[in-house]
């Protein structure tokens, strides 16, 4: 079973920041937080990952709480092309497998 | 984009026929994976490979076999396809240590 909890859906206005929450209250010290998204009919796309520090790349920012029990993915300026299902995943360092939950369906509203 | 090519992209076949799906990578990754995605179940791991001729089962491996005779190719075979294997199949590469997996565009398989 997935070790994360995400809201099933969210709306965000185009041009605004989209903040997607994820709860991973049972995360252990050697587990990373990964975010992927899946645009309709395409393969999952890797976005970002982190262990305990906040991370930023060209796509998004990842904010992990100090106790590591939750995180937020931030898309700074959402566009219609960001409409997708977003998956938050925890994975043990060195584990070959990742387990996808149901994710959050993000709707970007024009 | 990661250099992953899945073939075919779409296939329709009949129950009882053998089917082979191919995943080809140009990234020289040691690890490769096969997933299936179904409504209500999300992505589920079928088999994975951690090197040439080294493979292992995932959570839904029954009815599937795999082969990896060279680094760049990972084949998924349905020896005798059943309607329950109608699905979208994704290949992924990478994932060693804390590095992310990268996914192909999928193969949509329909078993009639």
A40-75 confidence digits (pLDDT tens): 889 999 999 999 989 999 999 999 999 999 999 999
Question: In terms of DSSP bridges, do strands B32-38 and B10-13 run parallel, antiparallel, or are they unpaired?
Answer: unpaired
Mutate to test the interface with A, among B43, B46, B55 (most CBs of A within 10 A): B43
Q: Distance (Å) from the C-alpha of residue B65 to the closest C-alpha of chain A?
A: 18
Residue A61 to residue A50: CA distance in whole angstroms: 10
Q: Distance (Å) from the C-alpha of residue A98 to the closest C-alpha of chain B?
A: 8
Are residues A89 and A35 in contact, defined by beta-carbon separation less than 8 angstroms?
Answer: yes
Nearest partner of A3 among A98, A90, A94, judged by Cα: A90
Which residues are CB-contacts of A12 (< 8 A; sequence separation ≥ 6)?
A18, A75, A78, A106, A107, A108, A109
Q: Does A51 touch chain B (CB under 8 A)?
A: yes
pLDDT higher than threshold 90 for residue A7: yes
- Mean pLDDT score of chain B, rounded to an integer? 94
Residue A32 to residue B64: CA distance in whole angstroms: 30
pLDDT higher than threshold 80 for residue A3: yes
Neighbours of A73 (CB within 10 A): 25
- Smallest Cβ–Cβ distance between B43 and the set A42, A44, A51 belongs to A44
When pLDDT is cut at 50, 70 and 90, the band that residue A1 belongs to is low
The pLDDT of residue A2: 64
Q: Is A98–B101 a contact, with Cβ atoms under 8 angstroms apart? A: yes
Neighbours of B89 (CB within 10 A): 23
How many Cα atoms within 13 Å fall on the side-chain side of residue A108? 19
The residue in chain B having the minimum alpha-carbon distance to the alpha carbon of residue A2 is: B42
Q: Does B30 touch chain A (CB under 8 A)?
A: no
Are residues A101 and A2 in contact, defined by beta-carbon separation less than 8 angstroms?
Answer: yes
Residue B30 to residue A14: CA distance in whole angstroms: 40
Q: Distance (Å) from the C-alpha of residue A24 to the closest C-alpha of chain B?
A: 18
A–B interface: beta-carbon pairs under 8 A? 46
Residues B23-66 pLDDT 10s: 999 999 999 999 999 987 888 999 999 999 999 999 899 999 99
Q: Does B106 touch chain A (CB under 8 A)?
A: yes
Nearest partner of A20 among A88, A99, A66, A81, judged by Cα: A88
């Amino acid at each position: 079973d997935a070790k994360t909890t995400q809201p099933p859906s969210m709306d965000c206005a185009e041009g605004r920041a989209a903040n997607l929450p994820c709860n991973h209250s049972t995360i252990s010290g050697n587990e990373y937080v990964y975010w992927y998204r899946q645009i309709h009919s395409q393969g999952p796309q890797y976005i970002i990952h982190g262990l305990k520090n906040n991370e930023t790349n060209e796509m998004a920012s990842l904010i992990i709480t100090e106790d590591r029990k939750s995180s937020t993915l931030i898309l700074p300026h959402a566009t219609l092309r960001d409409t997708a299902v977003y998956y938050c995943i925890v994975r043990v360092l060195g584990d070959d497998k990742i387990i996808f939950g149901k994710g959050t369906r993000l709707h970007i509203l024009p | 984009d990661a250099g992953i090519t899945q073939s075919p992209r779409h296939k329709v076949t009949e129950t009882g026929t053998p089917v082979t799906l191919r995943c080809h990578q140009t990234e020289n990754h040691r690890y490769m994976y096969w997933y299936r995605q179904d409504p209500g179940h999300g992505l589920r791991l079928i088999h994975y490979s951690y090197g040439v001729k080294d493979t292992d089962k995932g959570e839904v491996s029954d009815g599937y076999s795999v082969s990896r005779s060279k680094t760049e190719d990972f084949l998924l075979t349905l020896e005798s396809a059943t309607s329950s294997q109608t699905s979208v199949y994704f290949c992924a590469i990478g994932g060693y240590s804390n590095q992310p997996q990268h996914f192909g565009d999928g193969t949509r398989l329909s078993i009639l």
